[in-house]
Amino acid sequence: ASTEATKPTLVDLIRGHLKQESEPRSAAEITAALTQAHPDRSVKTTVVRTTLEGLVAKSHAHRTKQGSSVFYTAAVTSEPAAAEPQQEAVAD
């Protein structure tokens, strides 16, 4: 049971996967990628879809529809813009 506690949650895995991807992904594509990356875990598409909808509800992901297909992307988080002041400091 102690090894279960150290595993990242499905929410963490899905958020991490969406952040790595530059293009929208379907629930089936995300499930396939997570199954390949974590063969020791049983990942079902229905659970992934439900988790994605939960992330959308919390504004952690975005949903887009193309025809009858639904695709998900990571929400753009407002990261502090620390790069801009550093660029000014580097100028000679």
Report the alpha-carbon angle 44-60-76, nearest 5. 125
Closest CA to 17 of 60, 46, 69, 59: 60
Query: Which domain does 31 fall in, by range?
Result: 2-78
pLDDT in tens, 45-76: 999 999 999 999 999 999 999 999 999 999 98
> Residue 92 has what pLDDT?
52
CATH number of residue 20's parent domain: 1.10.10.10
Total number of domains constituting the chain: 1
Q: What is the pLDDT of residue 41?
A: 92
Residue 83 lies in a domain: no
pLDDT in tens, 21-44: 999 999 999 999 999 999 999 999
pTM (global) more than 0.85: no
Question: Within a domain: residue 37?
Answer: yes
